[in-house]
């Protein structure tokens, strides 16, 4: 049974200016983290930028293929 007492209800109010300020900061930090992660992986594998992009494309397409077809793990392991 739901409590419909208005005193116990809370509302989430979005502060557009505060959200925009935090959104920019989070986007900036996430972008930097992803860039550094990719540069570190590229360096660790000893690949040029073009080779790394091809490598990541193969990995992502393989993951997407298995996500679309869950019964195909056997092929991956075999």
**Tens digits of per-residue pLDDT, 24-38?**
888 899 999 999 999
Domain count along the chain: 2
Q: What is the DSSP string of 37-49?
A: HHHHHHHHHT--H
If asked whether residues 54 and 69 sit together in one domain, one would say yes
Domain membership of residue 57 as a residue range: 48-78
If asked whether residues 24 and 41 sit together in one domain, one would say yes
In a domain? residue 2:
no
Cα separation of 47 and 55, whole Å?
9
pTM: predicted TM-score of the whole model, two decimal places: 0.54
Cα separation of 48 and 44, whole Å?
11
Which residue in this structure is represented by tokens 């397409």?
A: 61
If asked whether residues 60 and 77 sit together in one domain, one would say yes
Which residue in this structure is represented by tokens 């590229």?
A: 42
**Tens digits of per-residue pLDDT, 44-70?**
999 999 999 999 999 999 888 888 876
């Amino acid at each position: 049974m739901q409590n419909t007492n208005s005193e116990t209800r809370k509302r989430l109010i979005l502060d557009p200016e505060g959200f925009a300020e935090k959104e920019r900061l989070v986007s900036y930090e996430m972008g930097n983290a992803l860039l550094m992660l990719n540069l570190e992986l590229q360096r660790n594998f000893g690949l040029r930028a073009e080779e790394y992009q091809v490598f990541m494309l193969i990995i992502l397409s393989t993951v997407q293929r298995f996500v679309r077809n869950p019964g195909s793990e056997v092929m991956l392991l075999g």
